[in-house]
Structure 1
Amino acid sequence: MNTIPTVTKNLLIINVLMFLGTIVAQSYGIDLNNYLGLHFFLAGDFNAAQLITYMFMHGGFTHLFFNMFAVWMFGRILEQVWGPKRFLFYYLACGIGAGLIQELVQYIHYETVLSAYDSVNTGYSIIPMEEYLNMMTTVGASGAVYAILLGFGMLFPNQPMFVFPLPFPIKAKYFVIGYALIELFSGLANNPGDNVAHFAHLGGMIFGFILIMYWRKKDRGNGYYYN
């Protein structure tokens, strides 16, 4: 742990502690994900602070493990290049941005469903409206993680990477593009059994791209260049 940069290390610790806290709270009948997860903004349980807290909550050990593995693997490199302040800002800003995109997508879905129900005059008699709205809850650091992947791909585009199950290395830029296309396809497929916030992942990458391009322009004006 001593070799991990400060912000990356603290992000890992906070996420693990929050996950353990969630398990303990569940034993007392308290669902922290319900309180700290990101609810749909029209729901009664929504709170603006959830745009930050949701990215420190996870739906299970596997969800937590893969997100934190990516933070450790790629986040520490970005922190070493950018420094702790810029990296922390990037992580939080992209996580918030991912949440905003997810809210927008959920609103479009909500309006689509509402129109469909109105067109056949069935209303929401099967499930109360408030309960339906509060079911739209997002948890996880994946939006910020996908932004980290994008950042690594933009800073080190030609870095070879071994990706299971491919038997040969691919460049980081193709790895990132491939992940983005998979998320876009999965999001547009709108599989009813898919509970992954694909557009939140894409939202994190979009905000990450905007930030990196802004910093590149700003840093070049100050005499700094990225390869």
Structure 2
Amino acid sequence: MPITLIILAVTCIVSFIAFGNSRLMNDLVLWPPAISRQREYHRLVTYGLVHADFGHLLFNMVTLFFFGRAMEGFYAGQLGTFGFALFYIGALVVSILPTYLKNRGNPNYRSLGASGAVSAVLFGFVLLAPWSRIVVFVIPMPAIVYALLYTAYSIYMDRRGQDNVNHSAHLWGAAYGVVFTLLVDHRVLPHFLDALLRPGF
């Protein structure tokens, strides 16, 4: 079974169980004091298995389903069968680390959801196929255009800081997706630059 589908299935199952089990939810979310004081380092990964609500879960898993399959093939070719799993777990950790360090002493802070890792998958895909058409809220657009809009929106909302969404994780996840992909195969950069000069939608 593809790694993407395994990640998707596990995330959906755990999230659905946690919706009705507050104890499980509290055991898995990123809660800084549990890491800094109790060394529950698993939370740097397990926070990505639980979501705030069904809409949050659906958006992340649909995005993962469509772009994860393409990226899984790429990473499998470069790193072997479990290449995508390595990439995805790394994305969960790297995307949340700045948030954890910033809120290390804040007992009131919690974060959850796979958005940072999903951002990494999406931005890795953009490097491989920047002009591929994707549909965002029924509006078709090139992947590269969506990536630029997504980045600008996340930066704006992160600075504004008036909602409960961890936009910082989105940005760090996106950066990780780009850097990791370029490190895995240096040929991706010239391919990306050449593709930008040959727009096709």
Q: What TM-score do the two structures reach when normalised by structure 2?
A: 0.83
Is there any run of 5+ residues in structure 2 with no aligned partner, and where?
A: 193-201
1:5-154 equivalences in 2 (<5 Å): 6-24=2-20, 26=21, 30-41=22-33, 44=37, 47-83=40-76, 84-106=81-103, 133-154=106-127
Query: Shift of residue 185 of structure 1?
Result: 0.5
Query: Shift of residue 138 of structure 1?
Result: 0.9
The structure that has the greater radius of gyration is 1
Q: Residues 161, 23 of structure 1: CA spacing in aligned structure 2 closer, same or farther, 3 A cutoff?
A: closer
SS of the residue aligned with 1:138?
coil
Is there any run of 5+ residues in structure 1 with no aligned partner, and where?
A: 111-132
Query: Shift of residue 44 of structure 1?
Result: 4.5
1:185 maps onto 2:177 in alignment: no
**Amino acid of the residue matched to residue 86 of structure 1?**
G
* Correspondent of 2:143 among 172, 175, 179: 172
Q: Distance in 1 between matches of 2:128 and 2:161?
A: 32
- Deviation per CA, 1:132-188: give whole Å up to 9, x if none: x3321111100001111101111101112333354xx42211111110111111000
Query: Shift of residue 82 of structure 1?
Result: 2.6
Q: Residues 214, 140 of structure 1: CA spacing in aligned structure 2 closer, same or farther, 3 A cutoff?
A: same
**Amino acid of the residue matched to residue 166 of structure 2?**
A
Answer yes or no: is the 8 Å Cα contact 1:55–1:140 preserved in 2.
yes
State the percentage of identical aligned residues. 28
- Deviation per CA, 1:38-81: give whole Å up to 9, x if none: 11257646621110111111111111111111111111111123
- Deviation per CA, 1:186-208: give whole Å up to 9, x if none: 000111xx110000111111111
Q: Distance in 1 between matches of 2:39 and 2:54?
A: 25
Q: How many residues align?
A: 185
Answer yes or no: is the 8 Å Cα contact 1:39–1:46 preserved in 2.
no
Q: What TM-score do the two structures reach when normalised by structure 1?
A: 0.74
Answer yes or no: is the 8 Å Cα contact 1:180–1:202 preserved in 2.
yes
Cα RMSD, aligned residues only:
2.1
